[in-house]
Amino acid sequence: MSAIPISTSELRIALFSGNYNYVRDGANQALNRLVDSLLRQGAAVRVYSPTVSEPAFPATGDLVSLPSVAFPGRGEYRFPLGLSRAVKRDLAEFAPNVVQVSSPDVSAHRAVSWARKHKLPILGSVHTRFETYFRYYNMAWLEPVIEAILRRFYRRCDALVAPSESMAQVLRDQRMNYDVGMWSRGVDRELFHPGRRDMAWRRAQDIADGEVVVGFFSRLVMEKGLDVFSDAIDELRRHNVAHRVLIVGEGPAHDWLKNRLPDAVFTGFLGGPDLATAVASMDVLFFPSVTETFGNVTLEAMACGLPVVASAATGSESLVDDHVTGRLIRPGAVHQFAEAVRGYIEQPELRAKHGAAGELRSLEFSWDRINQAVADTYLRLIRQKAAGAAR
């Protein structure tokens, strides 16, 4: 038997992802940052994920392609089909001492079975609330079924990590696993800070200096709460509350949202410094999504000094302090959302006070410290597995 790793440099991690880099989102960017942190500390990492010819961004580390097909109705996503013989050979040659699965797909199920067969510890990382997605496609009745399938999957893992304490508590309440730790998210302070605010950029978007900008930035999909967002904006318009809407992002619901909010400014996809400039040039973030497990969008807006109006749901609940750094509103409560946004539009002093408090809160999130918590969890699981084998 090989020696038990005592430091991050001795780890050999097989990481399974349903989307490592072919479509950009907060979850896969967090995974790439994790791999970068591990590699810098001398660990060996092998990533297994579906791939495409033109990914959204370069992959960090060694990436092995999993067999996959396009997801029905959402062709930009790939559905992993399992572990091919070539992938199993690659796994055997790599000889990991810990396995991480980051999405509950077919390949991850097979990876868990492979790891259990080889008596390897398994860490499951939870990045989104998959069971809630179906309510946005008129299939809410499926939610308990999906939850049961997820429970079976996550209970086969030795431990889970969640990006917020609120999400960790949901997993405990759902009885997904009895070992649930934290893998939070960080924010790039070199990119996201109030100094990125650019009035010339705003003018280039045809936004007047005196206009209060209500912003939204994320992938444009219905599960981000676009219906609630647009209904609340309609209510502001009916009450003649002066404001301007700025939408940053792209996705399959773009045309739907454009039709609902024809007067909004749509920038399309922005990344890096361009995204940071757009966010810092907003005045308030309105983000009513209930599917987030953490809320990278929320944290980045707070780092730019924006007050945040968000759903009182997983992710945002762990970041936004109600009436201190923003407002937490009952999911789906359109009138209350509109009134909360209206408060920030009409009270610049409150906007500045809560924005400054949010920026101060964002300083607590360091990527290296956060990612080290995952490495420490790997080492703990390996020790526990070895101790169990010895007994």
pTM over 0.85: no
The radius of gyration of the chain's CA atoms, rounded to the nearest angstrom, is 22
What are the residues whose beta carbons fall under 8 Å from the beta carbon of 313, sequence distance 6 or more? 166, 289, 290, 292, 331
- Residue 68 tokens read as 């996959």
Tens-digit pLDDT string for the chain (391 aa) = 457 777 899 999 999 999 999 988 888 899 999 999 999 999 999 999 999 999 989 999 999 999 998 877 776 788 888 999 999 999 999 999 999 999 888 999 999 999 999 999 999 998 875 545 545 556 665 677 878 888 999 999 999 999 888 888 888 988 999 899 988 888 888 899 999 999 999 999 999 999 999 999 999 999 899 999 999 999 999 999 999 999 999 999 999 999 999 999 999 999 899 999 999 999 999 999 987 767 789 999 999 999 999 999 877 888 999 999 999 999 999 999 999 999 999 999 999 999 999 999 998 887 888 899 999 999 999 999 888 765 5
> Distances in Å between the alpha carbon of 111 and those of 49, 54, 182?
12, 26, 22
8 A C-beta contact, residue 121 and residue 384: yes
Phi, psi of 239, deg, nearest 5:
-95, 10
* Cα(221)–Cα(6) distance, integer angstroms: 43
Domains 8-186+366-386 and 194-362 share a fold: yes
Q: Which residue has the tokens 């000889």?
A: 95
Domain map of the chain by residue range? 8-186+366-386, 194-362
> Is domain 194-362 given the CATH code 3.40.50.2000 in the classification?
yes
Which amino acid is present at 296? N
What are the residues whose beta carbons fall under 8 Å from the beta carbon of 225, sequence distance 6 or more? 287, 288, 289, 290, 311, 331
**CATH fold of the domain at 8-186+366-386:** Rossmann fold (3.40.50)
Q: Which residue has the tokens 């609902």?
A: 260
Q: Which residues pair with 265 in a beta bridge?
A: 246
